[in-house]
Chain A
Amino acid sequence: MKSALPWYALLLPLVSAGAITLFTHRLKTLSSLISVAAVLGSFLCSCLIFGQKGLSAPELKWIDFGTVFTVPFGFVLDDLSRMMLVLVSGIGALIHIYSLGYMRDDEGKSRYFAALSLFMFAMLGIVLANNFVMLFIFWELVAFTSYVLIGHWFERDAAADAANKAFFTNRIGDFGFMLGILLVWMSTGSVVFADIAPRLSILTSHPAFLTIAALLIFCGAVGKSAQFPLHVWLPDAMEGPTPISALIHAATMVAAGVYMLVRVGFIIQASPSALLVIAWIGTISALLAALIATQQNDIKRILAYSTISQLGYMMIAVGLASNEAAMFHLFTHAFFKALLFLGAGSIIIMLHHEQNIWKMGGLARHLPITFLTFVVGALALIGFPLFSGFFSKDTILALAYDHNMPIFVVALFTAFLTAFYILRLVVVVYFAKPRSDAARASDESPLVMTGPLIVLALLAWLGGYGFFARHFLAIPHEKELLLIVPVLAITAMILGAGLAIALYRNRTSEPIEVDLLRRLFYIDESYRWLIHWTQELLASISAFFDRWIIDASVVRGVSGGTWGIGALLRLIQMGNLQAYAFLFGLGIVALIYFAVFR
């Protein structure tokens, strides 16, 4: 059945972004309402699309070079993209509403909502794209809106720098992604997913080529999903407004990397070595980020590292060739991580932009709704039984247990760390006595902010249950009931949580300081060092080239040569008229000789 609904869902936010930018830039409240209306409309369309299986949308011919290169502007509407559509527009809608409260008094409110609408357009574009080129273009557009929104408070240097860092880091990954797309196109002659699938045998007959292509495509996901070694941008991206951190840098955009890998899973799963690399990158990211998170003091940074860690879990699932498990965790993670960020945002705004957890404390009494919803999010994150994260994380752990024992061990340890750092956060922020005046004077957020929190808390609780999630995605079934995995996972979780509670109860400052973790494993510093020295090296090479090759031999060579020849020639300019005449005669003789006798 043909329907224009996907077009409406996609284009409504774009119209909103355009309208705000062009017409209502000065009318801040109207701008925000237009944006919210657009995303609600988009959500409605998404729900309608979700309700109708076998829907298809009219396709536009976009780039058409016959058999060489054809890119349609078309949509893919399978179960995967319909689920993502509802997820993205639904969480987007909640966060738009929350932003009404969070950005209430912001100077750049119109700009903020225009960028948010544009982001929704780009993100829905990624979800709907049925070919690599469209995907890549929306992918870049998402990076751009992310840049704009991280740098929303651009007058702060930290925000502007963070925006640049995010953009550049993504650029590195996207370069690989583009090469990967080119490789796939080069070998199969098509960029449309549905056309590549039947021609996959061309790729599989060259395993090395396939592995390189798959890993290059994975590069894009590494950048976008902030996996090691390109994870450095995500914690800095927390300089943006908190709803942005929740929507873009936790629930949707960073998950786009995982979504893309699942979308092209048929290519990646054809290469076992690429899968192994992906699984290990995910494992390393999960462990590294969880370790760093245990020593951070900024509430949003802790959550950012937690995001990297959870994305690492999804990458493990992708690497173990289970798209279902990856999407399941993406689905539940979107809810509980958006919830955690919005809870953090609620605290931050009520404490007048205080983000240091050691300046909070005792907030459970002051912000009861925020506290309760945050705890739900935290329980879901650590995989507490009967909360959503338990089901999805358990699936991934079981998968790792089945396929790759070392990864399982690391993932289990990461689960322990996850419980440790999030309980540390909860204990330090919500319990004991307030440690600053702002914390003592804080009050609960308005309904426009707590409303989305409550909705998300319900989703974070119920999101993992089969009766709920089954409608949205294929829930992976474990082959036989592995009792050992949940038992181990729950043990790790309880150990981590207990340790955190024992360590941080009634503390007013960090009891253990691990410099290595506090300094982020020196990764940022080594990148700075690397960039510095690469630049120095390139600069000195080009300086040498300029000074000794261009200046010395080319420029001075030409001028010196001209000067020398001139000095020689001026010897025959003796000023005697008859000598000139003689030379002239000689010249004629020479001419005649060459013209006649040769």
Chain B
Amino acid sequence: MVTLGHYLIVSGILFAIGFAGVMLRRSLIIIFMSLELMLNAANLSLVAFSRFHVQPSGVPDYNAQVFVFFIITVGAAEVAVGLAIIVALFRARQTTHVEDINTLKF
């Protein structure tokens, strides 16, 4: 029997993988993909909440799914903007490696 806990554990693992990717990988593209993974981890837990929070009439709680739609929309917009920034950065610096992009310091 798959319970809410299982879903949440998977979601947590996905989130941790995404976070580790953001922290540890050096390529901006990979970092970006890891960010998306973290968003989707959140989506997964929200869908699971929706599924397991059933109303007395037997209908799932759609509030959580509305959140998921929001996150997908925002994520799409973010990808559009983020990829454009990365392309612009590559044109300016000929690199997408974060260790080469370190001028944001004192």
Q: How far is the CA of A573 from the CA of B106 in the complex (A)?
A: 6
Picked from B19, B98, B101, B105, the residue with its CB within 8 Å of the CB of A585 is: B19
Q: Is B55 an interface position by the 8 A CB rule?
A: no
B102 near A575: Cβ-Cβ < 8 Å: yes
Q: How far is the CA of A585 from the CA of B15 in the complex (A)?
A: 13
Q: Is A205 an interface position by the 8 A CB rule?
A: no
Closest to B103 in A: A575
- In the complex, chain A residues whose CB is within 8 Å of the CB of B39: none
B23 near A575: Cβ-Cβ < 8 Å: no
Q: Is A206 an interface position by the 8 A CB rule?
A: no
Q: Give chain A interface residues in 550-598, CB to chain B under 8 Å.
A: 570, 573-578, 580-582, 585
B105 near A578: Cβ-Cβ < 8 Å: no
Q: Is B80 an interface position by the 8 A CB rule?
A: no
Q: Give chain A interface residues in 291-326, CB to chain B under 8 Å.
A: none
Q: How far is the CA of A3 from the CA of B106 in the complex (A)?
A: 88
Q: Give chain B interface residues in 89-106, CB to chain A under 8 Å.
A: 98-99, 101-106
A577 near B23: Cβ-Cβ < 8 Å: no
B103 near A582: Cβ-Cβ < 8 Å: no
A573 near B105: Cβ-Cβ < 8 Å: yes
Q: How far is the CA of A60 from the CA of B85 in the complex (A)?
A: 83
Q: Give chain B interface residues in 13-37, CB to chain A under 8 Å.
A: 19, 22-24, 31
A582 near B106: Cβ-Cβ < 8 Å: no
A574 near B105: Cβ-Cβ < 8 Å: yes
- Given A582-B23, A585-B19: A577 touches B101 (CB 8 Å cut-off): yes
Q: How far is the CA of A77 from the CA of B105 in the complex (A)?
A: 88
Q: How far is the CA of A578 from the CA of B102 in the complex (A)?
A: 10
A576 near B23: Cβ-Cβ < 8 Å: no
State the Cβ distance, B33 to closest chain A Cβ, in Å: 14
- In the complex, chain A residues whose CB is within 8 Å of the CB of B101: 577
B22 near A578: Cβ-Cβ < 8 Å: yes
Closest to A569 in B: B106
Q: How far is the CA of A578 from the CA of B30 in the complex (A)?
A: 12
Closest to B101 in A: A577
Q: How far is the CA of A582 from the CA of B31 in the complex (A)?
A: 13
- In the complex, chain A residues whose CB is within 8 Å of the CB of B102: 575-577
Chain A interface size, as a band, is 10 to 19
- Given A581-B22, A581-B23: A576 touches B106 (CB 8 Å cut-off): no
Scoring B residues 67 to 103 as 1 if CB is less than 8 Å from chain A, else 0, what string do you get? Answer: 0000000000000000000000000000000110111
Q: How far is the CA of A576 from the CA of B97 in the complex (A)?
A: 11
- In the complex, chain B residues whose CB is within 8 Å of the CB of A576: 98-99, 102
Scoring A residues 223 to 260 as 1 if CB is less than 8 Å from chain B, else 0, what string do you get? Answer: 00000000000000000000000000000000000000
State the Cβ distance, A150 to closest chain B Cβ, in Å: 69
Q: How far is the CA of A580 from the CA of B31 in the complex (A)?
A: 13
B106 near A570: Cβ-Cβ < 8 Å: yes
Closest to B104 in A: A575
- For A573, A574, A577, the residue with the greatest tally of chain B CB atoms inside 10 Å of its CB is A577
State the Cβ distance, A327 to closest chain B Cβ, in Å: 86
- For B22, B101, B105, the residue with the greatest tally of chain A CB atoms inside 10 Å of its CB is B105
A577 near B98: Cβ-Cβ < 8 Å: yes
- In the complex, chain B residues whose CB is within 8 Å of the CB of A570: 106
- In the complex, chain A residues whose CB is within 8 Å of the CB of B98: 576-578
Q: How far is the CA of A581 from the CA of B105 in the complex (A)?
A: 14
Q: How far is the CA of A578 from the CA of B31 in the complex (A)?
A: 9
B105 near A575: Cβ-Cβ < 8 Å: yes
B106 near A577: Cβ-Cβ < 8 Å: no
- In the complex, chain A residues whose CB is within 8 Å of the CB of B104: 573, 575, 577, 580
Closest to A578 in B: B23
Scoring A residues 372 to 407 as 1 if CB is less than 8 Å from chain B, else 0, what string do you get? Answer: 000000000000000000000000000000000000
- In the complex, chain A residues whose CB is within 8 Å of the CB of B23: 578, 581-582
Leading 8 A-B pairs by shortest Cβ distance = A575-B105, A575-B102, A570-B106, A573-B106, A577-B98, A573-B105, A578-B23, A575-B104
| Given A575-B103, A581-B22, A585-B19, 15 extra CB contacts under 8 A | A570-B106, A573-B106, A574-B105, A575-B102, A575-B105, A576-B98, A577-B98, A577-B102, A577-B104, A578-B23, A578-B24, A578-B98, A580-B104, A581-B23, A582-B23
Q: List 14 A-B contacts (CB under 8 A).
A: A570-B106, A573-B104, A573-B106, A575-B102, A576-B99, A576-B102, A577-B98, A577-B101, A577-B102, A577-B104, A578-B22, A578-B24, A578-B31, A581-B23
